[in-house]
Amino acid sequence: MPTTDILLLVFVALAAVALLGQCIALLSLSRKVSALADRVTPLLPQVEQSARMLPPLVMEVQAMVAETRPKLQAVATNVAEITVLARDQVRRADAIAGSLADRLELQLVRVDEAVAAALTGFEQITTTFRQTVLRPVQDVNAIVQGLRTGLDFFFRRRPSPTLGPRAVYQDEEMFI
């Protein structure tokens, strides 16, 4: 027997084994499908009943969608308008707050300058008052005290009162 005949015989045998395997697989698949059909068959009346109820339910849903679509569109339009208005109001409020802050800062600068000018003026008035009124009064007071002490010493022949505790206090007053 030539090799080609042997090879042909081997390939035919392999094809027969493959066909036998496919036949067994198909029989097994057929059994599984028939078992599945036996399990699904009792459910068919319920599925048919649900399928009959489905068109009216779909119609109701379509009616609800048709009814609510304009309302939802109106709500969406209103929400968009409200958003635009709110954004504009926030921008205006921000502009007003910025302007108010700038004005308040300017006023605070003016108040600070006015207070500084008032304090400077008050210091000048105080300095002028000390120099023009208090210093001459202190000088006159010192002269009067000197004259009094001199006269007391001259007429009464007492020791000088500047040696007592009152003299230290008077010296401090004159120093201030």
Confidence at residue 166, expressed as pLDDT on a 0 to 100 scale: 55
Q: Which CA distances in Å does 67 have to 4, 27, 50, 62, 128?
A: 79, 55, 25, 8, 91
Higher confidence at residue 124 or residue 154? 124
Give the pLDDT confidence of 43-76 residue by residue, as tens digits: 888 888 888 888 888 888 889 989 999 999 999 9
174, 138 Cβ separation under 8 angstroms: yes
On whether the pTM is more than 0.85, the answer is no
Lowest mean pLDDT among 58-72, 100-114, 152-166: 152-166
Give the pLDDT confidence of 9-48 residue by residue, as tens digits: 999 999 999 999 999 999 999 999 999 999 988 888 888 8
Confidence at residue 150, expressed as pLDDT on a 0 to 100 scale: 84
Spatial distance between the Cα atoms of 171 and 162, rounded to a whole number of angstroms = 9
Nearest of 151, 154, 170 to residue 162 by alpha carbon: 170
Give the pLDDT confidence of 73-90 residue by residue, as tens digits: 999 999 999 999 999 999
Confidence at residue 164, expressed as pLDDT on a 0 to 100 scale: 52
Confidence at residue 94, expressed as pLDDT on a 0 to 100 scale: 93
Total domains in the chain come to 1
Confidence at residue 171, expressed as pLDDT on a 0 to 100 scale: 55
Spatial distance between the Cα atoms of 91 and 6, rounded to a whole number of angstroms = 94
Spatial distance between the Cα atoms of 5 and 142, rounded to a whole number of angstroms = 156
pLDDT-derived band at 112, boundaries 50, 70, 90: very high
Q: Which domain holds residue 97?
A: 3-175
Confidence at residue 25, expressed as pLDDT on a 0 to 100 scale: 96
Confidence at residue 77, expressed as pLDDT on a 0 to 100 scale: 94
Spatial distance between the Cα atoms of 7 and 97, rounded to a whole number of angstroms = 98
Q: Which CA distances in Å does 16 have to 1, 11, 64, 161?
A: 21, 9, 63, 153
Q: Give the length of the chain.
A: 176
Confidence at residue 168, expressed as pLDDT on a 0 to 100 scale: 52
Residue position matching structure tokens 């697989």:
25
Q: Is residue 170's pLDDT more than 70?
A: no
